[in-house]
Structure 1
């Protein structure tokens, strides 16, 4: 029976430590830079992992847990409607990078 309190204590510590982890999603403009990093991030390819991690670390987060292209309709209130930022067939795209501490 002594192991039950120890088990409950361990479960509480694990739950408390996972609750303290901070996660934040950053929405950034995906601008073609000629290096292909923008496509790696937008497609979620493994080649974008370093760029996503660097972005998170530059904002004092430890790692990037995910990154993907975001449709402007998914972003409420901060991005003009589709077509508003299109010029000469080029429209702005956005990437969501999820960072964790």
Structure 2
């Protein structure tokens, strides 16, 4: 009985310490918005931090731990390499935002 109590106590301690914090990576199209936000995210510049944080918070995550440009080859699944509506020349650019609870 004592070992069961110790095991339950340990499990509670580990769970409450954040060892099981949820992390999720969102892949979004890096579309030019006219404000330069797309470049802030793609280059990982400081100016993209607020945008990444807001994106995560809008999905009920506490913070953005990273954001960066992603090549379409890094993404599993079907991502079009070229698009018929590519007038601005950045149709193949995507950004990964890593959010944590």
| TM exceeding 0.5 | yes
Change (3 A) 1:21 1:34: same
How far 1:85 moved relative to its partner? Answer: 2.0
Deviations 1:10-63 (A, max 9, x none): 8x82x4323221000000001000100100000000000000000000000000
SS at match of 2:56: helix
| Alpha-carbon offset, residue 64 of structure 1 | 0.2
SS at match of 1:96: strand
Aligned residue pairs total 90
Partner residue of 2:89?
A: 90
Deviates more, 1:88-97 or 1:43-52: 88-97
Partner residue, 2:78: 78
Q: CA RMSD in A?
A: 2.2
Pairwise CA distance, 1:90: 1.0
Gaps of 5+ in 1: 1-8
Q: Partner residue of 1:51?
A: 51
The 5-angstrom pairing of residues 23-62 of structure 1 reads: 23-62=23-62
